[in-house]
Amino acid sequence: MSVVRKWLAGLVHFVRQQVRVFLIGMCFALNLNAFAQTTVTEDWCVKRPELSEEGGFTVSSTKGCAPLTITVKNTTNSPDNIFRYVYDYKGGNPVATNSSVLETAHTFSKPGKYKILQVGSKGSTGSVACQEVEVLDATPPNFRAYSCVDLKVIVDIVNDAVASQYDEFLVDWKDGSAIQTVPKTALAGITHTYRNNADYTIRVSGNYRGLNCGGGSFQQVKPLLNTEFVKPIISRLATTGSTITLQVKAGAKQQVTLYQQGASGTFSPTPVSRVGDGSLVINDITSHPTCFKAVSIDACGQKLESDVVCSIGLDVAAKDQQNEVVWTAPGSPANFQKYTVTKNDAAFRTFTRIGDKSVNDTEGLNCNQDYCYQVTALAGATEIVSDKKCVRVLSSSVPPAFSTVQVSVNGDNRVDLRGLPPVPTSQNPTYKMIVFRRDEPAGAFEQTGEEVDRNIHQDGGVQPQKQSYCYQVVYQNACGVSSEPSKMVCTVFLASNSASTIDWTSDSPFADEAIDHYVIEKIDASGVVWEEVAVGMQTSYRPATEADNQQFRFRVKAVSKSGAISYSNFYTFVQAPRIFMPDAFTPNGDQDNNVLEVKGSTYFQSIQMTIYNRWGEVVFHTESREGWDGRIGGQPAPAGTYAYRITAVDPNGVKTEKLGKVLLLR
């Protein structure tokens, strides 16, 4: 029985609790419904809604760094589960906007000031409470770390907008030493000395006093030993055009900056720098000598400088059959040893006095070759190299002119010109053949092209099917000296001066010999030469007529005394069409002159013949070469005179008509 009583008692207690929660919830809902009647623009943190009471809650932290996680705790006597919270309240009715939540924990990820609004029920009315939380920016500060000799490291904190919001800074040197607090007034030159030159990762944090929070950033450093910060050495200076490249030697972690001497004699830093051994490259150096030195300054202010090194200026001038080489001294180095002059990358001369600054080269100079010179000075352990300068030898000797030149028209209606160099290429492989052309019989020759180390020229800017072109060529040797022009050569131009002949020009296409004879080539439609006719020295030819062909392609071949050949342009000769009709015919069945038919050319594309009686009536019509057998409607036509009209069209679309009369005899 005792077990049953305990069970019943528990059931009664549970039912009472549920009823109580239900009634509270109904009350909370009614109170929220009352809140819903308030104006949206009201700020409940400034003025609570009417009939509401002051709620209450605590916040775990009202100020801290982002991201800040807080928890709230209801401090009223009402149950926690009838209260809701708005964690970024900006005014208005949270019931109407459904912006409240039951959660009692929240994280603010961005800096700023936030209102937390509590809405719920207290007694028989609604309740409202507000608190403010401030979230501070925890962006890590920016800083730079520098390594110095004697194992010193300097930190500079950047005084920017990030740094200005912190109260102070904490530097953790990561070597077991105490964290160093740095005030906002001493952000530069924060110095620390390490015990060895191991790698360290420094952490610099911003800090809000009283809160002990803020963001931190890291940077790795390696302190320098005394042996790692040494006097820089310039081992080589080389000039290429307006660019100078210096090879420098320094400590592996050592910053080296290039200094340049100005017109006043003082040295100023350039933007060119590097760390450790390697190249320093500076551009736009146009005057020589220009002097440089390599300078290293560590973050602690210690400065080391190399010896001064100056560039060498070089000038090479081509004189008549000699090259003059002149250079400038590389300043006044105390340990100068020698100059070495190279010619085409081979040693040419050596000078041991710094005052020796020129040499004339007359050895083995040919017009067909470029000669390049360079000067290298050795001063102690430093090598100074000038720019490389190249010239071609000058010569005033006029070379001989082209004597063997010929022109010919090719199948693409271009002119091929060939010349035999007057100087064998084994002696002078470098030359130019300069081409001049005359377009009018009385016109001047004008340069139209040139060939380098080549004796064949093709002229595509011509129309040899319309006229003859005359040429001269000039030989120019490697020294740039030109010969006299060659004799004139002209293309053979083939055309027709009459309806029955083809004709061509007589100017010679050969410069050094006369024409021996001409040959007429007759060419079929596929380009095959199927007939050649030798015509001696004639410049006109009458082609034979053919009934089956209206047009023929011809070309003239000019043959010199030595057998050289030059071709003219192609020319298509068109015969006038020929149509013949008899004056009479006798369709009497004796197989002799029984049919009236068209005679003459047979190449017409189409032909029509119409026969008319004396009253103009058509008695016969055909669109072929079929003749008239003298019948009308199957019956013999009466003897007498009949008229005819013949219309023929050739392959080119040209129409020919012939009208006439014919006598029908029986």
**Domain assignments of the chain as residue spans, ordered by start:** 2-133, 143-221, 229-310, 314-392, 396-576, 579-664
Q: Which pLDDT belongs to residue 204?
A: 98
Distance of CA 653 to the CA centre of its chain: 53
Strand partners, 336: 379
* Structural class in CATH, domain 229-310: mainly beta
d(CA 112, CA 547): 109
Residue listed under structure tokens 């620390």: 192
d(CA 559, CA 554): 16
User: Over the stretch 331-351, which tens digit does the pLDDT of each residue have?
Assistant: 888 899 999 999 999 999 999
Q: 363-370: long-range contacts at Cβ-Cβ below 8 A with a sequence spacing of 24 or more?
A: 365/321, 365/322, 365/323, 365/393, 366/393, 366/478, 367/392, 367/393, 367/395, 367/428, 367/430, 367/477, 367/478, 367/479, 368/428, 368/429, 368/430, 368/477, 368/478, 369/393, 369/430, 369/478
Say whether 314-392 and 229-310 share the same fold: yes
Q: Could you tell me if 437 and 407 are in contact, meaning their C-beta atoms sit under 8 angstroms apart?
A: no
Return the CATH fold of 143-221: Immunoglobulin-like (2.60.40)
Residue listed under structure tokens 């609004």: 117
Q: Which pLDDT belongs to residue 223?
A: 86
Q: Could you tell me if 371 and 391 are in contact, meaning their C-beta atoms sit under 8 angstroms apart?
A: yes
Q: Which pLDDT belongs to residue 206?
A: 97
E strand or H helix that includes residue 163: helix 161-164
The token pair at 637 is 């036509």
Q: Which pLDDT belongs to residue 9?
A: 37
Q: Which pLDDT belongs to residue 483?
A: 95
The dotted CATH code for 314-392 is 2.60.40.10
β-pair type (125-136, 143-147): unpaired
Q: Which pLDDT belongs to residue 224?
A: 78
E strand or H helix that includes residue 573: strand 571-574
The token pair at 246 is 């210096």
Q: Could you tell me if 451 and 435 are in contact, meaning their C-beta atoms sit under 8 angstroms apart?
A: yes
d(CA 420, CA 560): 16
Q: Which pLDDT belongs to residue 551?
A: 66
Q: Which pLDDT belongs to residue 395?
A: 79
Write down the mean pLDDT value for the chain.
88
Distance of CA 396 to the CA centre of its chain: 44
Q: Which residues 6+ apart lie within 8 Å of 183 measured at CB?
A: 168, 169
Tell me the CATH architecture of domain 2-133. Sandwich (2.60)
Longest dimension (CA), the chain: 162
Q: Could you tell me if 49 and 128 are in contact, meaning their C-beta atoms sit under 8 angstroms apart?
A: yes
Selection from 487, 477, 513, 459 nearest residue 402 by Cα: 487
Return the CATH fold of 579-664: Immunoglobulin-like (2.60.40)
d(CA 624, CA 327): 95
Selection from 641, 646, 665 nearest residue 657 by Cα: 646
Positions in the chain whose pLDDT score sits under 50: 1-34, 36-40, 547
C-alpha dist (Å) from residue 111 to 66, 100, 138, 457: 6, 21, 8, 82
**Per-position b or e across 250-267, b if 16+ CB within 10 A of its CB:** bbebbbbbbbbbeeeeeb
The dotted CATH code for 396-576 is 2.60.40.10
